[in-house]
Amino acid sequence: MQRSYPWQAGARGRLLMFNLLVVSVTLMVSVVAIIGFRHAGAIQEQAQAQTLADMNGSLALARDTANVATAAVRLSQVVGALEYQSESQRLQQNQQALQQSLSLLASAPLAARQPERIARIRARSLMLEQTINSLLLNSHQRHLQRNNMLSDLWQAQILLGHIDQLVQREQRTLPDAALREQTERLITIAIRTPSPIAVIEQLQQVMTPWRNVPLTGVTGENVQRLLATQQRLLPLAEALEQSDLAIAYATYRVKALVAMLNDDINASVQQVALQSEARTQATHHELDSIIGFIALFVVLALAITGYAGIYIYRNLGSSLTAIAGAMTRLAQGEQNVSVPGLQRRDELGELARAFNVFARNTASLAHTSRLLKEKSNQLESTFLAMRDGFALFDNNGQLVVWNAQYAELLGIAPRELHRGVHYQQLLAPLAVDLHDPGEQQEIRLADGRTLELRFSPIPRRGMVNTVLDRTSRKTLEEALQHSQKMKAVGQLTGGLAHDFNNLLAVIIGSLALTEGQLMPGPLATRIERARQAADRAAQLTQRLLAFSRKQALYPRAVSVVTLVDNLQGLLQHSLLPGQQLIIDAQRPGWPAWIDASQLENALMNLVVNARDAMNRQSGEIRLRIWNQRRPEGGEKRDRVTIEVIDHGCGMSAEVREQVFEPFFTTKATGSGSGLGLSMVYGFVRQSGGQIELETAPGQGTTVRLLLPRATDAAAATLIAPPPPAPSEAEMAADIDAASNRLVLVLDDEPAVRQTLCEHLHQLGYLTLECGDGEEALALLRQTPDIDLLISDLMLPGEINGAEVIRQAQQNWPQLATLLISGQDLRHQPVTLPLCERLAKPWQQAQLVQALQRAWQRSERLNRAQQAATTAPASH
């Protein structure tokens, strides 16, 4: 564009003239300032020349004095030989430097003005030099004394070790191990302690019993050498203590002399400072005159440049500010921006007109760029934030782009993943079906992870491969299936055990009634054989209940370590020749809240299984016990952990899935019932613990029991085991007491009900019987003479045995009650009433015990009720 205005009318011409004016004024002020400051500098140099000599001498002396004090303190604190030599040399060097500084101060101008103070400083420096020489001498003596004492201490340590070797070789005895250990520990402490006199005195007392050791020969000689070495230690320690006191005194004297020297030096420095202050005031007076003259020229220059600056700002600055503001708003994203000064006939007018064109183009470009950036950011964020692996292949199957999760999930090394590699080359090692990549595939890697691969073709552009990690979901699915299977098997087993208990109650009860009426003979023998078989069936039923977590347990605080120690002989006896039981127990161990007898059975089952897994081969079976605090359910829980480890054949994955199921066994026919591990599983789970299994074919098996730790609150709820069976005399007394007492028997199984009634008749009771809860409550209302209600827990209809007893206790408080069930009544989903309980199948002695407890509970309640009734009347 052709310029149509003279140069002096343009912005550049006006700025050039303003710059020339500013330069001229600046040169004038600078010349005046240079002349004035040169004169002030001459005055300042003269003052410094008179002051620095005095200040340097005083400060150097103060520095060297402080160095001497520091070196003296450090020398008094060192212990090692190398540190002693280094600190001694440093103290001597600092002393020499102090003497040199003192000589310089004596030749300085200050010495002529303050002769008395300089003489006092020299006298005290001489005293300081003598004290330092004494400190060096005492430190050297202390170093030699400590080396001698350390030599004797190390010799005593060597003699102790040599005596131990001789005693072991000659199989002799020494003082007890605690005394031997205390002696060596005191020697070690004395070696590490700078002033060990207290430790040496204690060592003298501790080693007194060594004089009574009846040893001869080489061992005796070494003991005598040890005692002789010990006798030399106390004088050495006392001499070392005296040297420490001398060093402390010398150090204190050095500090005191240094403090007095510092006081003298400070007084000299203050005198020099006062003289320097007087010179400085004179210099300031001269400078004030010069500054006033310079200020006059500065004010004149400011007035000239200020007037010119205001003119330039009004003519050029406002337009530049408007253009800059418009460009700033445009940079910040504002689109509707206009610039003033479009009609100016200078460079600013040209700039304003060009800016308007630029603003329109920028607004259009910014809109397009913003749209592209938003799309790009969305795609990039999505691509990087994906938890799944993603890779894009072109039409030829070659890799174009991928994210970090793709290589991580597939386990592909980064060097193998690059643009252009074919998808068949990447996925071939993973056993993926590449003939039909359009389908969804699931693969399992060698490290146990499960991946899902999806192939999605893009028309005319290639293919997308997505990799999803399905390991957690697969693990949860398998765990859920196993849990549901074990739950279903447990429910089925518990139901069967309940039915078997009813049948066994009839069989055992009927056999007991029949057995008491027969004379000895073949028939009585057959009845006894049948009763024994029924008892074994009852034990088998209890194992089924153990698996279904419904057996009766009597937990208490048990020391697992003590229990295993007592059981060790029996466990070892159950092993085959060549097999050994190794017990590795943490002592002291936490007590576990567990049924001790059931835990013994569980450990016996696990050890026998470990024995059988070793296929009659010799080896070790390890039983480990330790305390463990582990996270469970989001919180830390204390567990008493028991591990039974064998090095047998191990288990395959299929066997491991079924090993806790009842009646499952890998042993030969007739060699096992298949209830051992299932019983252990149910017992541990019912006790509030966990069981874990680690095994592999040919790698052995580890069964881990995680038992709950016994707490004070748990001990307060200790469940007592059943009382012993009553004697014949007690049973006869109960029969006499039961005469004419009426008992209501409630059970939905007629055979069970009738068997129970026959036993009650044999014990002298009168009975009524019914089959459901509604009928029992009706009989109670119609027959007030009923003394005892015996009910089964599981009844048909809406009212179970627990609810019948609860209503009976509310309506007839004087009524005695007894609840019967084939399951553990302490682990029922319903709330049970406060009454006595009896487990199926029962013996007659157990029935008598339960009846006794029921009558006793009823009598206690009746007495308490009578006392509560008569108490208000007495008032």
Distance CA 673, CA 142 (A): 83
Instruction: Give per-residue pLDDT as tens, 615-669.
Output: 878 889 999 999 998 887 678 889 999 999 998 888 877 777 767 666 556 654 4
Residues 6+ apart with CB under 8 A from 198: none
pLDDT above 50 (res 547): no
User: Quick one: 451 exposed, middle or buried, by C-beta within 10 A (0-12, 13-18, 19+)?
Assistant: buried
Read off the pLDDT of each residue in 436-463 and give the average, rounded to a whole number: 75
- Selected residue with higher pLDDT from 100 and 828: 100
pLDDT at 714: 43
User: Does 857 share its domain with 782?
Assistant: yes
> Which H helix or E strand runs over 872?
helix 844-874
Tokens (6 digits) for 549? 């977590």
Instruction: Give per-residue pLDDT as tens, 397-427.
Output: 888 888 878 777 777 777 878 888 887 777 7
Distance CA 264, CA 246 (A): 27
pLDDT at 720: 43
Q: What's the chain's average pLDDT? A: 73
The domain total for the chain is 5
pLDDT above 60 (res 201): yes
Task: Identify whether 784 is preceded by a cis peptide bond (ω within 30 of 0).
Answer: no
Read off the pLDDT of each residue in 200-220 and give the average, rounded to a whole number: 71
User: Does 756 share its domain with 704?
Assistant: no
User: Does 134 share its domain with 67?
Assistant: yes
pLDDT at 111: 58
pLDDT band at 609 (very low <50, low <70, confident <90, very high): confident
pLDDT at 718: 38
Read off the pLDDT of each residue in 500-529 and give the average, rounded to a whole number: 62
Q: Is residue 750 in a domain?
A: yes
Read off the pLDDT of each residue in 810-835 and give the average, rounded to a whole number: 72
pLDDT at 716: 37
Q: Is residue 583 in a domain?
A: yes
Q: Render 331-342 in DSSP notation, one character per residue.
A: HTT------S-T
State the residue range of the domain holding 572: 556-716
User: Does 799 share its domain with 702?
Assistant: no
Q: Is residue 301 in a domain?
A: no
- Selected residue with higher pLDDT from 412 and 701: 701
Picking from 547, 564, 582, the residue at the C-terminal end of a domain is 547
> Which H helix or E strand runs over 741?
none
CB 498 within 8 A of CB 793: no
Helix runs in 548-626, H state only: 560-573, 596-613
pLDDT above 60 (res 671): no
Instruction: Give per-residue pLDDT as tens, 72-116.
Output: 666 666 555 556 667 667 766 767 766 766 666 666 666 556 666
CA distance to 112, 449, 455, 795, 825, per residue, from 773 (Å): 126, 56, 65, 7, 19
Distance CA 380, CA 385 (A): 8
The CATH number that applies at residue 822 is 3.40.50.2300
User: Does 512 share its domain with 543?
Assistant: yes
pLDDT band at 558 (very low <50, low <70, confident <90, very high): very high
pLDDT at 670: 44
CB 319 within 8 A of CB 348: yes
Distance CA 610, CA 38 (A): 104
Picking from 681, 716, 751, the residue at the C-terminal end of a domain is 716
3-state secondary structure of 6: coil
- Selected residue with higher pLDDT from 517 and 705: 705
What's 346's DSSP letter?
S
Hey, what amino acid is at 422? H
- Selected residue with higher pLDDT from 540 and 855: 855
pLDDT at 590: 92
Percent pLDDT > 90 in the chain is 7
CA distance to 98, 134, 250, 741, per residue, from 130 (Å): 13, 6, 10, 115
Picking from 424, 440, 469, the residue at the C-terminal end of a domain is 469
Nearest to 835 by CA among 802, 865, 863: 802
User: Does 403 share its domain with 465?
Assistant: yes
Instruction: Give per-residue pLDDT as tens, 471-496.
Output: 777 766 665 665 555 555 555 555 55
pLDDT at 131: 73
pLDDT band at 601 (very low <50, low <70, confident <90, very high): confident
pLDDT above 70 (res 693): yes
Q: Is residue 333 in a domain?
A: no
Q: Is residue 250 in a domain?
A: no
Q: Annotate 588-622 with b (16+ C-beta within 10 A) or e (fewer).
A: ebbbbbbbbebbbbbbbbbbebbbbbbeeeebebb
CA distance to 180, 189, 241, per residue, from 198 (Å): 19, 11, 10
User: Does 503 share its domain with 457?
Assistant: no
pLDDT at 307: 74
Read off the pLDDT of each residue in 142-167 and give the average, rounded to a whole number: 77
User: Does 648 share its domain with 733?
Assistant: no
Nearest to 239 by CA among 130, 143, 133: 143
Indicate yes or no: pTM above 0.85.
no
Highest mean pLDDT range out of 73-82, 499-508, 754-763? 754-763
